[in-house]
Amino acid sequence: MKRMEDVIRYYIGFNLVPGIGPLRLARLIERCGSVAAAWHADETMMIASGLDARSMAGLREVRQRIDLDGELERLRAAGVTPIAIADPRYPPLLRMIPAPPPLLYLSGTLTPADQRAVAIVGTRHPSHYGREVARRLAHDLAAAGITIVSGLAIGIDTIVHTAALEVGGRTIAVLASGVDRIYPERNLALAKRITTSGALLSDYPLGTPPAPLNFPPRNRIIAGLSLGTVVVEAGESSGALITVQFALDQGREVMAVPGSIFSPLSAGPHRLIRDGAAIITSADDVLAVLNLDQQTPLHDAPLDIALTPEEEAIYGAVSAEPQHIDVIGRAAGQSAAATAAALALLELKGLVRQVAPLYYARGR
């Protein structure tokens, strides 16, 4: 382990050098024979490895300025684990992609179970339908032993991370910033929960703020950690489709949830389906596409909670798709007052959920 720490020190240093990405670093290590020798390379060796003047200047400057042992201690003090590509703990699926990131910063834990991972991505502004679909997919997949991967953004990302945690599953959030710079800040509490049952991951050094240029590389890692990517709702120009392109480039499965033909949020998934993406209507579909077995049952247990006749009528009218309280009341043949009272009690019993003001869906 001590020897691996020595190796990781140099990867930490290289990750602070501007202009030396995965491909250039791989060439430099190959030319020099080891990452330690690459760190101490002279100008002749740098030139032979294909580094340009700016990259060489950057490496010289960082070598003079950075105390590698001090950087390693700084990470430890922050509770962050650096994982280099040479480390056996490096995620195997990510190692398989072209030019994988040489170093990851981890807050939380990675386990062998995370090799059964699926990315779920989509819009930051989902419809009621999109929210329910994302929640149900993440809930059922996590219950089946699948790790849910996403990007901690508001909208679909937040929904799927939360749903995985609620069922006691694992989830990984990949950040476009340092793992100490949670973005968006409103998800700080969620990020802390994720570290107790999953991981925050980034290839950006501590202190790196979220910047627009950081998000496409982040999406590349989301796809790379996953056996396949599911798109729930996404407009034609959604960033979720960038993740899809990376998944295709990496030879991973792409799946999409169909939506309303009248919604612009369905444009992205419907185009993917036209182009050959698998149609997803349930977690069972995802498991079938990826040829995975389910480690725990996906289907709900029989209802064994005592209900009044009014509650039974209302519960029978509530579906998985969110419906307005008036629609539910009319379908159940109940008055507005009786419907509201029954829904409140059903919500307390965990059988229905209010997904938006006056909109309800089944909770189990």
* Predicted pLDDT at 295: 61
Give the mean model confidence (pLDDT) for residues 11-30. Answer: 95
* Mean pLDDT lowest among 133-142, 153-162, 178-187, 355-364: 355-364
Strands 147-150 and 117-121: parallel
Residues across the chain: 364
* Predicted pLDDT at 179: 98
d(CA 332, CA 329): 5
Is the pLDDT at 362 greater than 70, yes or no? Answer: yes
* Predicted pLDDT at 237: 87
What's the first-to-final CA gap in the chain, in angstroms?
A: 46
Residue 350 pLDDT class (50, 70, 90 cuts): confident
Is the pLDDT at 296 greater than 80, yes or no? Answer: no
Residue 307 pLDDT class (50, 70, 90 cuts): confident
Is the pLDDT at 302 greater than 50, yes or no? Answer: no
- Which tokens sit at 104? 């990851």
* Predicted pLDDT at 300: 46
* Predicted pLDDT at 2: 58
Residue 301 pLDDT class (50, 70, 90 cuts): very low
* Predicted pLDDT at 169: 97
Q: What sign results for the dihedral spanned by CA atoms 214, 216, 222, 224? A: negative
Q: pTM score, two decimals?
A: 0.83
* Predicted pLDDT at 303: 52
Give the mean model confidence (pLDDT) for residues 329-344. Answer: 88
pLDDT in tens, 206-231: 999 999 999 999 999 999 999 999 99
